[in-house]
Amino acid sequence: MNGAVPADILSDVVRWRRAIHRHPELGFEEERTAALIEAELARAGVEAVRVAKTGIIATLRGEWPGKTIALRADMDALPIQERSGETFESEVPGKMHACGHDGHSAMLLGAAVALARERAALRGTVKFFFQPAEEGPGGALPLIEAGAMRGVDAVAMIHVWPTLPAGTIGIRRGPAMASCDDFDIEIRGRGGHGGYPHTAVDTIPIAAELVGALQRIASREIDPLDSIVVAIGRIDGGYRRNVIADTTRIAGTVRCLNEKVREGVPERIERITRGVCEAHRATGTVTILHGYPSVHNDPALADRIAAIARSTDGVPAVVDLDRPTMGAEDFSYYTQEAPGCMIRLGVAQPGEANPPMLHSAEFRLDESALPVGVHLFRALAHRLPADL
């Protein structure tokens, strides 16, 4: 691998990113985004197939023997009204690239176009996954079902990160992001007049007790050294001040870093709900909605990627991240098939003390970070297949 990524490709990356940013598309609706990517891949002579409605798997076979690696970018936007103030703000009301997936797709496309010009020097095979619907309902599993991970020896992705300085690469070994499961609870009692509570079964105080009791999963049932979040995001019950609520619904989410801890959570929610409701003559029904597993970065692969990043021109800084986060990512499904690593790329503007977070209407990324992602993707494609 010689030199830097050509300047024409780096300026195309910014142009593609802005074009995708102007026209954000939600999960499995990424037709326009996919068409842009397919057109550029075709122009560069990279073989690509459409899978899972709007997903693309592109493949570049090197001229030398070696392993197969996969590099993944997500393509979808969020249902948020943009207020970033960028000159290339979303032109679609109520939709925004607030998680940086526009940048992910543009960087991976830039790397694919650059690598297509360097095929004679490539070892092994590089697969590029342009994945729909990371923000839900999830595009990773449909891609895997379409055969994306067949023969893949290692998989990596880059996510832009607003709390790291622009261009800094952050690598974490081991647990990187949490699993995410949701739950709905319906408490059924008996309605009545607020002045005669003894003739009714009031679900409001039962819901209040249950919210407190569910917090005891984290504080009293799980090893304090294992991380878990049980968050109740919505309570909905009752009619008016003097009417006893016959039904109250609670909705929440559970985040875990450890799959063993995660497996035990549904039984705990069901047992506590049943017990609290029975104690007060009501019934409780729990519905668990399973979401993404936790992301575990393979330590050996993470070390290898950190070493490659440190010796790649155009990557200014590499830091080891000592903590995972409790956000979730469907990249976890790929890491169940082969060793994987989620890489973070800082996009904070210089001097920005309190940057807008991912998923906020004000989110913006410092585009000086985009070439760093392209350089790193390209370096991984050249060097990982030879080393694994």
List Cβ neighbours of 208 (8 Å cut-off, separation of 6 or more).
none
* Nearer to Ni ion (CB atom), residue 44 or residue 99: 99
Work out how close the CB of 189 gets to Ni ion at its nearest, in angstroms, rounded to a whole number. Answer: 41
Work out how close the CB of 104 gets to Ni ion at its nearest, in angstroms, rounded to a whole number. Answer: 8
Marked catalytic residue, from 221, 270, 337, 367: 367
**Catalytic residue check, 292:** yes
**Catalytic residue check, 239:** no
Stretch in the footprint of Ni ion (CB under 5 A) among 41-49, 91-99, 136-144, 146-154: 91-99
Work out how close the CB of 263 gets to Ni ion at its nearest, in angstroms, rounded to a whole number. Answer: 25
* Nearer to Ni ion (CB atom), residue 25 or residue 186: 25
- Which residue is at the shortest CB distance from Ni ion? 99
180 binds Ni ion (CB under 5 A): no
* Nearer to Ni ion (CB atom), residue 62 or residue 340: 340
99 binds Ni ion (CB under 5 A): yes
Structure-block tokens of residue 98: 């607030």
178 binds Ni ion (CB under 5 A): no
Residue the block writes with tokens 């970018």? 73
257 binds Ni ion (CB under 5 A): no
Stretch in the footprint of Ni ion (CB under 5 A) among 96-104, 160-168, 191-199, 235-243: 96-104
* Nearer to Ni ion (CB atom), residue 99 or residue 257: 99
Pairing assessment for the beta strands 317-320 and 168-171 based on DSSP bridges? parallel
Work out how close the CB of 100 gets to Ni ion at its nearest, in angstroms, rounded to a whole number. Answer: 6
Work out how close the CB of 83 gets to Ni ion at its nearest, in angstroms, rounded to a whole number. Answer: 19
* Nearer to Ni ion (CB atom), residue 62 or residue 103: 103
295 binds Ni ion (CB under 5 A): no
Marked catalytic residue, from 292, 329, 333, 334: 292
Catalytic residues: 292, 367
Q: Which residues bind Ni ion (CB under 5 A)?
A: 99
